Amino acid sequence: MVPSALAILFVFNLTFEKFVDLDIPQGEKAQIFPKLCSVDGDVLLLLGCFYYNKDREERGRLMIFQNREKVMDVMIDGQLYYGFSIVEDSLILVGDRAGNVYLYNLKGEILKRLKLEGPQIYDIHNDSLILFYQKYWFSILSPINMELKNTIKFNPIPNTDALVYRIFKGKLYVQAGKHGNSIICCNPENGDTLWEVGLGMKNFVILGLLPDPRIVSSLDFVHDTLYAGTMIGDLIVINNKGKILKGVPVLKGLIINSIREMDKDRILIETHEGILSCVEKKTMQRIWEFKTEGETGEPPLVLRDPGLILTVDAKGNIYILDFNGSLVERTKIDDDFDGAGYLLAGDIDGDGMIELVLKGSLKGRIYIADTEIQCKRNEIIRGKRND
């Protein structure tokens, strides 16, 4: 797909403006984690923040914006990552790394509060259930009575605290196994395993001399098909019954971060090393590649109409490619960035145009850019980092 003239106009006029600045002291670091959610037809921008106060105490903060106007701003006792979500249509569930769980209304009033012993809440999902990710524990919560219903534990990747997982159509898919080389699909409501598939042992792994090279590094869905990337560049395709359809060394020796669909014939693979690779679905043959200057840690934004790919690297560079792999535009944000920058996209102004929300600053800042790309009014194109 070749970008339209309007898309070319959009990229050459793309300007990111500072939208929120926590104004932290010089030398300190802070991060803001964004989500886009829909409430009563409007798009809300939710910003979870973590930083240290002047006494070096961990602090969190949640801000909510509607049409770029702040409608809620509350301080949280512990650091806040992605532990916040809209639940029950108009309530906000918040969980911090100190194990505090809060239920707010949109006025910022606390309706209920719960203190959990031990867990550090990293993420809250609201797909068809309320699910906490607490390091390598998953817990289901009933937000109305604030009760934990079920808890499931999995093995982290060896030598790290990382756990690769996805929630898709009410099911939990997670990397598991002693060496992190299995994938489990389970029902989070009761913890029952629906299926488990091993990705196979290789060479000296059988003798226990080396860790398994097929440690899962990413799990992504293209329609109902699960694509698992590994830490050595293998791509494994699994159907919804847990059957491996194919396993191919697509990007040998590289860590696969994400897989995204471009169109019915092509997928886009991004690696930790900053390589974007367009791959033909059926043959798994590479069509083109693009290398960013810095490393990349989060999935790119794929806009199928007008056919553009946007990604952010660890040096604050934003790259815009067309679907042929050609660089259309590159811009740099003058800020201190980490390797986990990415873009959200949606009509946050209600004007029928896509706005872009940029995450990645280590100085506690969020940037927004207007575009001339049309979408449905109040549509969310990408509301979470893993969408």
- Answer yes or no: is 288 within a domain: yes
- Answer yes or no: is 211 within a domain: yes
Task: Tell me how many domains the chain contains.
Answer: 1
pTM of the model: 0.91
Q: Tell me the H-state helices in the chain.
A: 5-12
- Answer yes or no: is 298 within a domain: yes
237 in Cβ contact with 226 (< 8 Å):
yes
- Answer yes or no: is 128 within a domain: yes
- Answer yes or no: is 155 within a domain: yes
Q: What share of the chain is helix, strand, coil (3-state, %, to 5)?
A: 5, 55, 40
Distances (CA, A) of 64 to 35, 95, 201: 10, 16, 47
* pLDDT for residue 139: 86
* pLDDT for residue 203: 42
* Domain ranges, residue 63: 5-382
- Cβ density class 217-240: b for 16+ within 10 Å, e for less: bbbbeeeeebbbbbbbbbbbbbeb
Give residue 215's Cα distance to chain centre.
20
Q: pLDDT under 70 in the chain at which residues?
A: 1-13, 53-54, 118-119, 127-128, 156-162, 177-180, 201-213
Rounded CA-CA distance 151/168 in Å is 18
- Answer yes or no: is 259 within a domain: yes
- Answer yes or no: is 387 within a domain: no
- Answer yes or no: is 60 within a domain: yes
- Residue 78, CB-side half-sphere exposure with 13 Å CA sphere: 20
CATH of the domain at 352: 2.130.10.10
* pLDDT for residue 129: 73
353 in Cβ contact with 370 (< 8 Å):
yes
* pLDDT for residue 320: 95
Indicate the residue type of 117.
E
Strand partners of residue 21: 365
